[in-house]
Amino acid sequence: MTAPEPTAPEPFGARLRRAMDERGPLCVGIDPHASLLAQWGLDDDVTGLERFSRTVVEATAGRVAVLKPQSAFYERFGSRGWAVLERTVQEARSAGALVVMDAKRGDIGSTMAGYAEAFLRPGAPLSSDALTVSPYLGYGSLSPAVALARETGTGLFVLALTSNPEGGEVQHAVRPDGRTVGATMLAHLAAENAGETPMGSFGAVVGATLGDLSSYDLEINGPLLAPGVGAQGATPTDLPAVFGAALPAVVPNVSRGVLRYGPGVVALRDAVDRFADGIRLARAGA
């Protein structure tokens, strides 16, 4: 008797769409930088890092669609920080949240493939549901990560129109064909996601602080990770004006706007609920 064909993994885009529909679209960043650790009364060491991370997971993983740990704040502690990050990812996923690893990797060839293996290969210590990547060595440099994401049912969030002011000098630069670099990245992602249902697995990072983006085609049939809500100044009520018809695909990211209410679990959950309610009202009124 022949063995059954292995079942293809469910694509990240389908899993994310379901999580957004069931829990709302909010993404909470896990950013344990030194000032937040101090604000929580924790030491700037591995013990403080782990206490912070576990508290955020305990408070939020069961009620948001996505958690997004920022790897830099773990990397600065070396191997012990990496170990905390591994546990944070595993605990968040076990609690039902999708995990987007915010590592913003970008390289070429076998090096890009190595980054993809580290963060997207099932069974790897840091295996996540999706990874943020930088396309500014050329979109084609991401090909190894795109290929592995398709194989494993994971996803990518590609930096396209970021919320940092410095990003404009690259992302708003105009190419010989008349399109900006940011618009070119969005077009590449639309091509990756063509024909996928309920949406594709290749998303863009588009800042919620950027104001009117009507000159850009944000409808890429994939998710739009939107940093900038909360401490950077954007509010849920800004989202319809920024994203227009693409609003149903937006995953608003809040980090300090929630994390500043720690270390109490109840206070963190209340902050999450306030942002989630605001986002739901903004989407309903759009």
Burial of 4 (0-12, 13-18, 19+ CB in 10 A): exposed
Catalytic annotation, residues: 104
Q: What is the CA radius of gyration of the chain?
A: 18
Q: Report how far residue 200's alpha carbon sits from residue 214's, in angstroms, rounded to the nearest whole number.
A: 22
